[in-house]
Amino acid sequence: MKNFKKESGITLLTLTIIIIVLLILAGVGITSGISTIKSARYTAFEAEMQIMQTEVNKIKQENKEANSLGEELTEEQKQIFIVKEVQDVLSQKEGDLETLKSNFRYFRKDYLKNDLKIEAAERDYYINIQERIIISSKPVEYEGINYYMLEQMSNGMYNVQTHKTGNVEFDLNYEIVDTSKINIIVTNITGNNYTNKWQIRYKLSSNTENWNITPEFEGNSYTIVVEEKEKYDIEVFHKEEWQSATKQINISGYYNEEKGVNSPTVGGDNGKGLIPIKWNGENWEVCSEDDPTWYNYSDKEITVTNEDGQQEQVPAMTWANAMLSDGIYKAGEVEVGQVVKLEELGSMFVWIPRYAYSINEYKVAKNLEDGTTQNITKVEFLKGISNEGTSGNTYPKDYDADSVAVRISNSNDSTSSLYIWR
């Protein structure tokens, strides 16, 4: 019987299996490589869009002629607005959609790089600078989605429309430290839980430009130190991604050099809703805190004609009257010059600035012929929160109470039924 020797080698079946495995591995490698390339392209596009958004926000804020930059869109370019991904984002914007579209301009890549110095631009864009909205002229595809706008992306809410509110909320208060230091206290900053890092813009309300910006800080509160007793505009923001509406705070209750007393505090959180009002000779009317006739606590005199037709000098003191928002009139809703009907007045107050007083015995011979003494109360208004009186006297006791208001039951008589309100 013939013996056969067993030979080793690769069978056709084995070879087939090896080829199939190699093809599978090659396919996986190619797919993985394509996926990696797409992911990198998407990440680069997102980073570019973020830089573009920041730059457009700056252009809007710094350039008053920004809306004339770029070129008008052609009819062909306007077809971008019928792309579903773009439609979905624009439809969620505030304002009229057609007006929104009409304010877009075409920005070529070279123009962005060379004229606007945006080095990150690697494509052409359609941009509405007025509303800070950016659309890429060509999409980047990733995982089956065409991306045209930053808002489509996971970290995409970087655009803040100039009139959009509610992204960030915060509370305001202030404390007067001394005559040259006032703390504006920003508290309870809340956003969307995206970050706990914030910055604050602030400026005098009378200043149309020149914002001051704080360093970035963590947490939900911050104290700004200012020197002037004025109205301030305050905004809280995180980079260019999240921004509050502008709030205003009026620093009052501070020494007024011209009028010689601390100024009244009205309205807002600090004034508990007090509305400044004055008697115009016939009716009570709402006035502003800046009204020069609202109050005058100095002993200046004016010339009047008395009942006998003679000219005489009389004190010109006028009191700072205010009304609480517990009637039909509410702080923030009334208008300056609005007449307030007597029967509709809220609780009435008159402002008494912070003061010092002392009781001493003086001999007043011209009034007391028998030579007896009479107690006389000496009252002097104090400057700010110091112990210095308006005459220059310094009082030893630490008078740390704020100015007070005195409630009056008769709106024409500031001395009847006094009730101290702090």
pLDDT digits (tens, 9 = 90+) for 60-111: 877 767 778 999 999 999 999 999 889 888 887 777 788 889 999 999 999 9
Q: Where in the chain is the domain with CATH 2.60.40.10?
A: 169-250
Neighbours of 146 (CB within 10 A): 15
The CATH code that applies to domain 169-250 is 2.60.40.10
The CA distance from 40 to 52, in Å, is 18
Task: Kindly tell me the burial class for residue 64, based on how many C-beta atoms sit within 10 Å of its own C-beta (0-12, 13-18, 19 or more).
Answer: exposed
* pLDDT for position 339: 92
Task: Kindly tell me the burial class for residue 164, based on how many C-beta atoms sit within 10 Å of its own C-beta (0-12, 13-18, 19 or more).
Answer: middle
The CA distance from 422 to 404, in Å, is 5
pTM: predicted TM-score of the whole model, two decimal places: 0.38
* pLDDT for position 66: 75
Main-chain dihedrals φ then ψ at residue 38, nearest 5 degrees: -65, -40
pLDDT band at 347 (very low <50, low <70, confident <90, very high): confident
pLDDT band at 365 (very low <50, low <70, confident <90, very high): very low
Amino acid at 185: I
* pLDDT for position 29: 60
- pLDDT above 90 coverage of the chain, percent: 15
* pLDDT for position 205: 84
CA distances from 352 to 96, 179, 189, 284, 407 (A): 51, 19, 34, 19, 10
* pLDDT for position 158: 41
Contact 322, 312 (CB under 8 A): no
Q: What is the mean pLDDT of the chain?
A: 75
pLDDT band at 398 (very low <50, low <70, confident <90, very high): very low
Range ranked top by mean pLDDT from 15-29, 213-227, 228-242: 213-227
Contacts of 72 (CB under 8 A, 6+ apart): 105, 106
List, for residues 113-137, the tens digit of each pLDDT value. Answer: 998 888 888 899 999 988 889 999 9
- Better-predicted residue by pLDDT, 38 or 411: 38
List, for residues 139-187, the tens digit of each pLDDT value. Answer: 988 888 889 998 887 554 444 443 334 478 899 888 777 667 888 999 9
* pLDDT for position 41: 84
Nearest to 241, CA basis, from 199, 210, 209: 199
* pLDDT for position 269: 45
Is the pLDDT at 413 greater than 60, yes or no?
no
- Better-predicted residue by pLDDT, 395 or 278: 278
The mean per-residue pLDDT over the stretch 297-325 comes to 73
Half-sphere exposure of 295 (CA within 13 A, CB side): 23
Q: Can you list the positions of beta strands (E) in 31-159?
A: 105-107, 125-128, 133-136, 140-142, 145-147
* pLDDT for position 145: 86
Hey, what are 296's tokens? 């005058």
* pLDDT for position 73: 93
* pLDDT for position 163: 36
Is the pLDDT at 239 greater than 80, yes or no?
no
